[in-house]
Chain A
Amino acid sequence: MGKFNKTGKREMPELNTSSLPDLIFTMLFFFMIVTTMREVTLKVQFKVPAATELEKLEKKSLVSFIYIGKPMPEYQAKMGTTDRIQLNDKFAESSEVQDYIYQERENMKESDKPFMTVSLKVDAKTKMGIVTEVKQALRQAYALKINYSATQRN
C-alpha cells in the first residue's frame, strides 16, 4: 500500500496557457469570416417571413437594404406603432425611396451599377399597401432587381 501513501507535499503543476491566444485567434478569425459588418442600427423591428425557394444574395457591396416594420419600442412614442420605412439610419417616407436609390447608385462603381440589388427586409405582418408603394418607387428609380428577404423553412 505504500504506493499510495506518499506523505510529501505535492505541488500542483501549473496549467500551460501558452496556446490560449492561438485558440482565441482561431475563434476570432472564424467570426471575422462568417459575419458581416452591421451597417445600420435598426430602428424598426421585423421578422421576415419563412419560405422554401430561396436564393442567396451574392455580393454584399451590390445590395442596398430597405427595412419596413414597426418602430422599436423606444421610438414608438414619437413615431407611433404603424409600419414605417427605414432607409440608412433614419425613418423615411415612401417618397424618399427614389432619392435613396439614386444616392446608393451614385456610390457604386460604374461597372457594378447594372447589378444593383435591393433587398427588402419586411416584417411578415406588414400590410402590402406600403410595400407596393416602395415597389412602385423602385420601379421609377429603375432599381428592378429586388430580393424579398426571407428565412428558410422546411
Chain B
Amino acid sequence: MAKRNRKVPGINASSTADIAFMLLIFFLITTSMDTDRGLSRRLPPPPEKKDQKDDIIVKERNVLQVRLNKDNQLMVAGEWSDIKQLRNKAKEFISNPNDDANLPEKHAAKLPFFGDVMITDKHVISVQNDVGTSYEAYIQVQNELVAAYNELRDELAHSQFNKSYAECSEEERDAINDYYPQKISEAEPKKYGGK
C-alpha cells in the first residue's frame, strides 16, 4: 500500500507561455482582421427573352437618369451636375414634396402607422455608366443615392415616430420602407464609343 500523503511534484509550467505564444503567432498569420462592410445591392434578374424587353413602359417623369461618362463626369436628369448636388436632387426626386408635374407621380396608398398617404411608389432611379467609368466614381454615385434614401427615411421616422430610423421597430421600419421604396435600377450596359 502506498503512503497516504505523498507529495505530487509540481509540473514545470514555464514553457506554457511559449506554447501559447506560438499559437498566438499562428493565428495572427493565418487570419485577417478585415471587417466586411459594403453597399448592398440587388441585381435585376436576367432578361428572359429579347422581344419581351419593352413590356414595362415607365413614364418619363418617373425616371431619374443618372449617367456617368468615361471621364467620370456626372449627368443628372439631363444636366451636368456635381457629385455633391446629387444627394439633394435625388431626395427631391424621390419625395416630390410640392407635387411637381415633372417629378414622379404620387399614388394613394394605405400603410400601417401612416394611414392613407400619397407616395411616389412608381419612381425609378436609373444609373447608367460607361465602360471607361472608374469604379470609385460609380461607388460614390451609388453611395449618394443610398444616402438620399437613408436621409429621407430618417426624416420620416423623426416626424412620425419622434426617433431615428435606427431606433424604430421592425414593423415601423417596414412601413417607412414602403413609404420610400428603394428603387435604383442598374440599366443594361451600353457601350458608347471610346475605350
Kindly list chain A residues whose C-beta atoms are within 8 Å of the C-beta of B33. Answer: 34-36
Given contacts A142-B45, A144-B43, contact A56 B36 (CB under 8 A): yes
Structural contact, A128 and B133, CB atoms closer than 8 A: yes
Q: How far is the CB of A33 from chain B (nearest CB, A)?
A: 10
Q: Given the complex of chains A and B, what is the CA–CA distance between A152 and B37 in angstroms?
A: 8
Given contacts A52-B143, A136-B189, contact A21 B135 (CB under 8 A): no
Q: Given the complex of chains A and B, what is the CA–CA distance between A133 and B103 in angstroms?
A: 32
Structural contact, A57 and B20, CB atoms closer than 8 A: no
Asked if B88 is at the interface of the complex by the 8 Å CB criterion, the answer is no
Kindly list chain A residues whose C-beta atoms are within 8 Å of the C-beta of B142. Answer: 51, 148
Given contacts A34-B33, A36-B31, A128-B132, contact A148 B139 (CB under 8 A): yes
Kindly list chain B residues whose C-beta atoms are within 8 Å of the C-beta of A35. Answer: 27, 31-33
Interface string of A1-35 (1 = CB under 8 A from B): 00000000000000001101100110110011011
Q: Given the complex of chains A and B, what is the CA–CA distance between A143 and B186 in angstroms?
A: 15
Q: How far is the CB of A23 from chain B (nearest CB, A)?
A: 8
Asked if A90 is at the interface of the complex by the 8 Å CB criterion, the answer is no
Asked if A76 is at the interface of the complex by the 8 Å CB criterion, the answer is no
Interface residues on A, range: 35 or more
Given contacts A53-B146, A144-B42, contact A31 B36 (CB under 8 A): no
Interface string of A133-154 (1 = CB under 8 A from B): 0011011101111111111100
**The residue from A18, A25, A55, A127 contacting B39, defined by CB atoms under 8 A apart:** A55
Q: How many residues belonging to B are interface residues under a CB distance threshold of 8 Å?
A: 46
Asked if B101 is at the interface of the complex by the 8 Å CB criterion, the answer is no
Interface string of B30-48 (1 = CB under 8 A from A): 1111011111111111100
The number of A-B residue pairs with CB atoms under 8 Å apart is: 150
Asked if A66 is at the interface of the complex by the 8 Å CB criterion, the answer is no
Asked if B57 is at the interface of the complex by the 8 Å CB criterion, the answer is no
Q: Which residue of A lies closest to B15 (CB)?
A: A21
Kindly list chain B residues whose C-beta atoms are within 8 Å of the C-beta of A138. Answer: 43
Q: How far is the CB of B111 from chain A (nearest CB, A)?
A: 24
**The residue from B14, B35, B138 contacting A131, defined by CB atoms under 8 A apart:** B138
Given contacts A28-B27, A145-B42, contact A21 B16 (CB under 8 A): yes
Which B residues form the contact surface with A (CB < 8 A)? 13-14, 16-17, 19-21, 23-24, 27-28, 30-33, 35-46, 68, 129-136, 138-140, 142-143, 146-147, 150, 186, 189
A-B CB contact pairs (8 Å), 22 listed: A17-B17, A24-B24, A31-B27, A35-B27, A35-B32, A35-B33, A36-B33, A51-B140, A52-B147, A54-B37, A56-B36, A57-B38, A119-B36, A125-B136, A128-B130, A128-B135, A135-B186, A145-B40, A146-B40, A147-B39, A148-B38, A149-B38
